[in-house]
Structure 1
Amino acid sequence: MHTIAVLALDDVIPFDLATPVQTFGFTRTPDGGPAYRVLVCGTATVRTETFTMHPHRGLDALAEADTIIVPGHDNHGAPTPPEVLDALRAAGARGTRIASICVGAFILAETGLLDGLRATTHWLAAAELAARHPKVDVDPNVLYVDNGQFLTSAGAAAGLDMCLHLVRRDRGSSVAADTARLSVMPLEREGGQAQFIVADQPALPRGTELEPLLRWLSDNASTDLTLADIATHAGMSTRTLNRRFREQTGTTPLSWLHRERVRHAQYLLENTTHPIDRIASEVGFGSPTAFRERFRRVVGTNPNSYRAAFATNS
Structure 2
Amino acid sequence: MLKSVAALVLDGLAVFEFGVVCEVFGIDRTEDGVPAFDFRVCGPEAGVPLSSPVGVQVVPSHGLEGLAGADLVTVPAVETLEGYPPEVLAALREAHDNGAVLLSVCSGAFVLGAAGLLDGRRCTSHWRHVRELQDRFPLAQVDPDVLFVDEGSLITSAGTAAGIDACLHLVRRELGSSVTNAIARRMVVPPQREGGQRQFFERPVPDCTSDGLGEILGWMLEHLDQPHTVAALAARAHTSARTFARRFAAETGTTPLQWLNTQRVLQAQQLLEDTDLDMDAVAQRCGFGTATLLRHHFTRAVGVSPSGYRKTFSTIAR
TM-score, length basis structure 2: 0.83
Contact (CA 8 Å) 1:62, 1:87: kept in 2 or not? yes
> 2-side partners of 1:210 and 1:169: how far apart?
30
Q: Tell me what 1:149 maps to.
A: 153
User: Shift in Å at residue 57 of structure 1?
Assistant: 1.4
CA-CA distance at 1:27 after TM superposition: 8.8
Alignment check: 8 A CA contact 1:27 1:179 kept = no
Instruction: Name the structure 1 match of 2:310.
Output: 307
Moved more, 101-110 or 270-279: 270-279
Partner residue, 1:204 = 207
CA contact (8 A) 2:9 2:60 kept: no
Give the aligned residue type for 1:133. Answer: F
Give the secondary-structure state (helix, strand or coil) at the position aligned to 1:49.
Answer: coil
Given that 2:225 and 2:286 are in contact with CA atoms closer than 8 Å, whether structure 1 keeps it comes out as: yes
Q: Which amino acid aligns with 1:228?
A: A
Partner of 2:116: 112
CA distance in 1, matches of 2:202, 2:273: 28
- Residues 16 and 235 (structure 1), Cα distance of their counterparts in 2 relative to 1, 3 Å cut: same
> In the aligned structure 1, how far is the partner of 2:300 from the partner of 2:174?
19
Q: Does 1:297 align with 2:272?
A: no
**Aligned AA (2:272):** L
Counterpart of 1:276 in structure 2 is 279
Residue-by-residue CA offset, 1:122-169 (whole Å, 9 max, x unaligned): 333333323322333333333322222122222223222211210111
Task: Give yes or no for contact 1:120–1:153 (8 Å, CA) kept in 2.
Answer: yes
Rounded to whole Å, the distance in 2 between the matches of 1:205 and 1:214 is 9
1:65 matched to which residue of 2?
Answer: 70
1:309 is displaced (CA, Å) by 1.1
- Cα offset for 1:35? 4.7
Contact 1:122/1:154 (<8 A) preserved: yes
Task: Give 1:5's aligned residue.
Answer: 6
Per the alignment, residue 199 of structure 1 pairs with: none
1:184 corresponds to 2:153: no
Partner Cα distance (1:28, 1:291) in 2? 34
Change (3 A) 1:64 1:275: same
For residues 235 and 186 of structure 1, what CA distance do their matches in structure 2 show?
Answer: 33
The AA in structure 1 aligned to 2:168 is L
Cα distance in 1 for partners of 2:123, 2:174 equals 21
Instruction: Give yes or no for contact 1:45–1:52 (8 Å, CA) kept in 2.
Output: no
Matched residue, 1:94: 98
The letter of the residue matching 1:97 is V
Residue 85 (structure 2) pairs with residue 84 (structure 1): no
Cα distance between partner residues in 1 of 2:210 and 2:41: 38
Most deviating of 165-174 and 147-156: 147-156
Equivalent positions of 1:30-45 (< 5 A) are: 32-42=33-43, 43=45, 44-45=48-49
Counterpart contact for 1:144–1:158, Cα < 8 Å: yes
> What is the root-mean-square deviation of aligned Cα atoms in Å?
2.8
Q: Determine the C-alpha separation between the residues in 1 that align with 2:155 and 2:238.
A: 41
Offset at residue 11 of structure 1 (A): 1.1
Cα distance in 1 for partners of 2:122, 2:158 equals: 13
CA drift of 1:269 comes to: 1.1
Mapped to 2, the partners of 1:228 and 1:235 lie a distance apart of 10
TM-score with structure 1 setting the length:
0.84
Letter in 2 for 1:283: C
Of residues 213-222 and 235-244 in structure 1, the stretch that sits farther from structure 2 once superposed is 235-244
Aligned to 2:227: 224
What is the distance in 2 between the residues matched to 1:90 and 1:38?
19
The alpha-carbon deviation at position 61 of structure 1 amounts to 2.2
- Distance, in Å, in 2 between the alignment partners of 1:32 and 1:259 is 28
Change (3 A) 1:303 1:115: same
Shift of 1:242: 2.6
| 1:48-78 Cα distance to aligned partner (Å, 9 max, x none) | 221222334122322242101111212x123
